Chains A and B, each alone.
Chain A
């Protein structure tokens, strides 16, 4: 008990440590990551009900789930979620850039880049929050839903072209903000030790992170922002999955996003669970959870929308 108490008080003291922007950016990254993970796990399971609902004899399962998402509380949560996804993405990009070009980074630049990340997050989040807020207002407060149905194709085209452009624009800002011209020091080859599990995981987090920014952002932009939860139903899912491309897209999303999330949780576990026995147990739990939820999601994507005959 005292050990747990000591860990807790250390944790609190750590949060109160007077670090600077880097410390804030780290706390923000963790919170955003954990929040997104929580949503992601629920989201995979409930979306899978498009397949499993009918199988289990509860065909209304998906529409029940969507109804919950349509509640005002969830819609507010969704707006926050979008902020988390944007921040985690841009800040992650910053970390990746740091790891790739560490010699660009000094104390002052790190302080600046935190504020740049916050500014870019707000800039991207503002229109999304406006659109989602508007939808929340129309559906839940004045109860005067717009008559026109969302044009899924137009939204998709918009998101698919705009987001990669944004992605590269952000990358450019971060890079140019760094000293692009700072020369890399001359090097020599060494016999680097064989890669350990931790090396591989670390590298996976970086590669998957880069990939996930367009993947997740396009997904979120279309589903949450442009189309909106009120326009999403079984038909919408069926329409999307009619295209093989979108199914592959969702498979990639499932694999990388949830993999990234579980490995992130592994980092958190390693950080806070020093007891080797419990550490191992929790990590096994993570693997099991990852396998189960990924399997559920994968089966649903392959199986597609099942409607009761």
Chain B
């Protein structure tokens, strides 16, 4: 099928402002948008800058606004977003500074990630037999959703609270915190909850569900944030 990619370009080395450029491409309906972008980059205009790596939705590099909403370019097939002869718009994520074209500065995103202590803390003695700590399948299942997160930033940059104020810790960091708060091997629940109880913590969430809709890993992000709020309000992790 023949389609047009309308891409928002911005190279701060050369441009004053972002501008749109259109590229005609011919693709198979079952190809990924990433394949179409590669066609542009490899055979039409090598100056197009984007991040990508694994190309099948695991590494989380190629989050961008596709037809206005956050998706991974490697996880959408052309046939699902455009008809023959149609146009696909591609823009960088919203709320983070654009470095070049579709590439944004992720440092603030990772700073929020680091702020929630994203690691298991447990200084208790290890099992004497030198083996694993025990955990029931139910306890393991309790935090399963959060472990799927690939830190692609699709949720955080879909969040109106984050757009308007990027000091908000954001959905991704809360999902990460949830993963540890609800892991019964962890012993730093209260410290982590204290971080999220601050002014720029979970209370900035307005239950918009953009995060849940944007998540390429189908994590029920808003639900996990809700569970953290509940834990804060009731003192029960359940």
Contacts and interface: CB of A to CB of B under 8 A. Distances in A.
Q: Do chains A and B touch in the complex (CB under 8 A)?
A: yes
Interface string A18-31: 11111101100000
Given A103-B223, A192-B232, A199-B233, A272 B164 contact: yes
A151 interface: no
Question: Would you call the interface of chain A mostly helix, strand, loop, or mixed?
Answer: helix
Given A100-B230, A110-B222, A188-B238, A95 B207 contact: yes
A198 interface: yes
The bracket for how many chain A residues form the interface is 35 or more
A196 interface: yes
A11 interface: yes
A117 B138 CA distance: 35
Given A14-B164, A23-B208, A193-B190, A199 B227 contact: no
Given A26-B160, A105-B220, A202-B203, A18 B69 contact: yes
B209 interface: yes
Contacts of B67: 18
Contacts, number: 160
Interface in B131-160: 138, 142, 158, 160
Interface in B181-199: 184, 189-190, 193-194, 197-199
A205 to B, nearest CB: 10
B237 A188 contact: yes
Interface string A93-107: 001001110110111
Given A199-B233, A202-B203, 9 more contacts: A14-B164, A17-B158, A110-B212, A186-B138, A187-B237, A189-B235, A189-B237, A271-B164, A271-B204
By Cβ-Cβ distance, the 9 closest A-B pairs, closest first, are A187-B238, A22-B209, A102-B226, A18-B68, A192-B235, A193-B194, A18-B69, A198-B203, A26-B208
